[in-house]
Copies of this chain bind each other. A is one copy, B any other.
């Protein structure tokens, strides 16, 4: 078996739900005769998704949504699966856009996008293809924002499902995926022992909760900072210490930002930190730790004292350790979400494509939520893949719930 195939096979084994959906698609052919143009990261996990859609009967053309993430051996292996791939690691901007055009040449019924570039080209340079397109999916928050703007201007010409925003993703990706991979990244970068350490987690949304749970589970005392009193109170009632970043900065050994906001750790905080404090970001953008303030405070910088670790020496001799230059520590210092988590997101995406195929012509242009039953279906399949059976309602129970909901 070649390396590309090996990688896909490895990913597939951690993606039993998507594999099961692929098997079902192979029988039911819900995408029979449809053409799909996709613009996604060309990785082993994506390959498993493509395989499922192909099994469903679709013809597929795939371009890369980012040339840096393309795994060339996977791209090559996908060719053997009868999928047209237009992607190569490290190509220039021109080639990147040409690849998207080449994928669009399939004249898609359905499009899969990751950042809205393909949809944008469709609406500007390839408007001739628009009438054929009956729907699409978008996998990023940024892409969804662009789509909503298009919608508000009346520009979007077909329905797009925001596959980023499923209940499953929020509950599972964010909490369990980010939680584990963030701590994993910090251990790989620093090999620091977390037991007995004070870990400051900035932000107590789904991601922050996951990070805090894993830090606590590794033996740390966890301090939570928040700006929302309700979330802060929730953290306190879960047994975390809650305070502002000011006092937290003085006692923390490890700092993890995961707020979605900028400048959460600022110069005033850096100024009072302990020698050896570790700074990591698990929020999407690299704005949460004020790296410029750190640059100004550092009289000396040693890059790469450990993998993904830069040491800033302050004027008074204290040393602060910045991981991954303030970028996502779980992607940079570890390997991002485990495939088991991608299994949930990509399964929702596969089911969303089948739903789009089924509902062709009934959906208005605009951004649509993933239907709730897809979340339920993905969770159901995941439980089954793990060998867990759960109860179903009896007829009496159905009736009881129904009567209760509508009053007596």
- Given the known A-B contacts A196-B237, A240-B221, are A335 and B191 also in contact in the complex, defined by CB atoms under 8 Å? yes
Question: B residues within 8 A CB of A383?
Answer: 229, 232-233, 236, 242
Number of copies: 4
Distance (whole angstroms) from the CB of A291 to the closest CB of chain B: 15
Distance (whole angstroms) from the CB of A75 to the closest CB of chain B: 20
Question: B residues within 8 A CB of A306?
Answer: 10
Q: Are B145 and A407 in contact (CB under 8 A)?
A: yes
- In the bound assembly, the distance between CA atoms of A117 and B382 in angstroms comes to 47
Interface residue? A121 (CB, 8 A) = no
Query: 8 additional contacts, CB 8 Å, given A188-B188, A218-B218, A260-B404?
Result: A6-B302, A6-B305, A184-B187, A191-B334, A191-B339, A229-B376, A236-B386, A243-B389
- In the bound assembly, the distance between CA atoms of A407 and B379 in angstroms comes to 32
- In the bound assembly, the distance between CA atoms of A255 and B242 in angstroms comes to 20
Nearest B residue to A148, CB-CB: B407
- Please give me the 8 A-B residue pairs with the lowest Cβ-Cβ distance, nearest first: A217-B217, A229-B379, A193-B338, A229-B380, A193-B340, A196-B237, A176-B195, A233-B379
Interface residue? A127 (CB, 8 A) = no
Interface residue? A168 (CB, 8 A) = yes
Interchain CB contact (< 8 A) of A195 among B218, B239, B260: B239
Question: B residues within 8 A CB of A390?
Answer: 225-227, 229, 232, 242-244
Q: Are B407 and A13 in contact (CB under 8 A)?
A: no
Q: Are B338 and A191 in contact (CB under 8 A)?
A: yes
Interface residues on A, range: 35 or more
- In the bound assembly, the distance between CA atoms of A172 and B390 in angstroms comes to 27
Interface residue? A179 (CB, 8 A) = yes
Q: Are B237 and A195 in contact (CB under 8 A)?
A: yes
Q: Are B397 and A263 in contact (CB under 8 A)?
A: yes
Distance (whole angstroms) from the CB of A326 to the closest CB of chain B: 15
Distance (whole angstroms) from the CB of A247 to the closest CB of chain B: 8
Distance (whole angstroms) from the CB of A366 to the closest CB of chain B: 16
Q: Are B220 and A168 in contact (CB under 8 A)?
A: no
Interface residue? A394 (CB, 8 A) = yes
Interface residue? A392 (CB, 8 A) = yes
Interchain CB contact (< 8 A) of A14 among B179, B192, B260, B376: B192
Q: Are A233 and B382 in contact (CB under 8 A)?
A: yes
Question: B residues within 8 A CB of A276?
Answer: 13-14
- In the bound assembly, the distance between CA atoms of A317 and B76 in angstroms comes to 26
Distance (whole angstroms) from the CB of A300 to the closest CB of chain B: 10
- In the bound assembly, the distance between CA atoms of A401 and B386 in angstroms comes to 37
Interface residue? A54 (CB, 8 A) = no
Question: B residues within 8 A CB of A218?
Answer: 180, 214, 217-218
- Given the known A-B contacts A196-B237, A219-B237, are A230 and B407 also in contact in the complex, defined by CB atoms under 8 Å? no
